[in-house]
Amino acid sequence: MIQEERERHRGYGDLTQAIMEIVGQADRPLTPAQVRDALDGRLAYTTVMTVLARLHDQGVLGRERVGRAFAYTAIGDPANVTARRMHRLLDIDRDRAGVLAHFVGALTPDDERVLRDLLQRVDADHDGPSARERP
């Protein structure tokens, strides 16, 4: 598959992430046309507009009217947004343990260390059972 074709078939998650990064790094609200231009202008305006509107509906982006269009700004921490997306994906599959096992199995050694450290902190921060052991 050639590079252009790969980009055209980019997954929705990749596009969403790219749009969130562009809006999050901007020093001012961006219109869909400005976001599209930042994405090299290869996508349809309506595609970019739809993703921006969905992110707004999810509470990830704020928006204000600018003329006939909306301009979007990031609200909240990008890491928190990604974590919420991960939770939603995890909730879709019936085999939650299997999904987590595949996820953990694919971690790099550095990511595994970070995850272990974070889990230990959760245990240390709570009296009684850890957040992972609570119903």
Taking only the tens place, the pLDDT of each residue in 82-109 is 788 788 888 988 999 999 999 999 999 9
Q: Which spans in the chain are helix H?
A: 3-8, 12-25, 32-38, 45-57, 78-92, 96-105, 109-125
For 43, half-sphere exposure in the C-beta direction (CA atoms, 13 angstrom radius) is: 27
Class of domain 3-74: mainly alpha
Taking only the tens place, the pLDDT of each residue in 30-50 is 999 999 999 988 899 999 999
Higher-confidence residue of 87 and 51: namely 51
Contacts of 81 (CB under 8 A, 6+ apart): 20, 60
Q: Whole-model pTM?
A: 0.59
**Segments making up each domain of the chain, as ranges:** 3-74, 93-125
Q: What is the mean pLDDT of residues 19-24?
A: 92
